[in-house]
Amino acid sequence: MEWLKNIEVYDVGLNIIRPTLRFPVDPGYADQVADSLIEGYKFLSKQEIYEDRMERKVKTFIEGIVYPYDRAGCGNQIVVSSSGKVGVCAGFTGTKKYFMTDVFDRSFDHRTDQTFLLWSKKSPLAMKECFDCPAIGICGGGCPHNAELNKKIG
Ligand code: SF4
């Protein structure tokens, strides 16, 4: 944090480790990294440095608006692979799962594409398991790619 302050950046994004079944992390990692992100946010905001991961949630909370998605892949992005395949999530670029067409498909329309629509609903607001959670308005649901890899859901 001190280093970030000293190099005088204005924006920064702190990416946490995304564990997989093959590369697990310590069971206490999630709590530790959450505490660290909060402490980092407190420090950086005092220096007027915008930390994206925390700031976008704090901002929506302060503004009193709902935060439906954590990930752009949930209806806000189209990913193009180096071979021209078109999908919704960069995390699946290797397997091409959820890559529904390619750049030469002139008939593709994300507004009617079933894969795109499926991913557009990957929000706590559309999941009955989340309906009673007090965090539903600010959670965003995390990373669907990570959820599918680790829990076999999606
Ligand atoms: S914290 Fe868990 S249960 Fe609550 S809204 Fe987020 S994903 Fe759903």
Q: How many Cα atoms sit within 13 Å of 93 on the Cβ side?
A: 10
| Cα gap 46→21, rounded to integer Å | 38
Pocket of ligand 1 (CB under 6 A): 124, 130, 133, 135-136, 139, 141
Can you give the length of the chain in residues? 154
Copy the structure tokens of residue 102. Answer: 């390619």
The reply to whether 102 and 57 lie within a common domain is no
Q: Which atom of ligand 1 is nearest to the CA of 141?
A: 7
Q: Which regions of the chain are under pLDDT 70? A: 152-154
The reply to whether 19 and 57 lie within a common domain is yes
Report pLDDT for 149: 82
The reply to whether 59 and 31 lie within a common domain is yes
Q: Which atom of ligand 1 is nearest to the CA of 140?
A: 6
Q: Which of 39, 63, 87 is the last residue of a domain?
A: 63
Q: Is residue 12 part of a domain?
A: yes
Q: Whose CA is nearest to atom 5 of ligand 1?
A: 136
Q: Whose CA is nearest to atom 8 of ligand 1?
A: 130
Domain that holds residue 28: 1-63
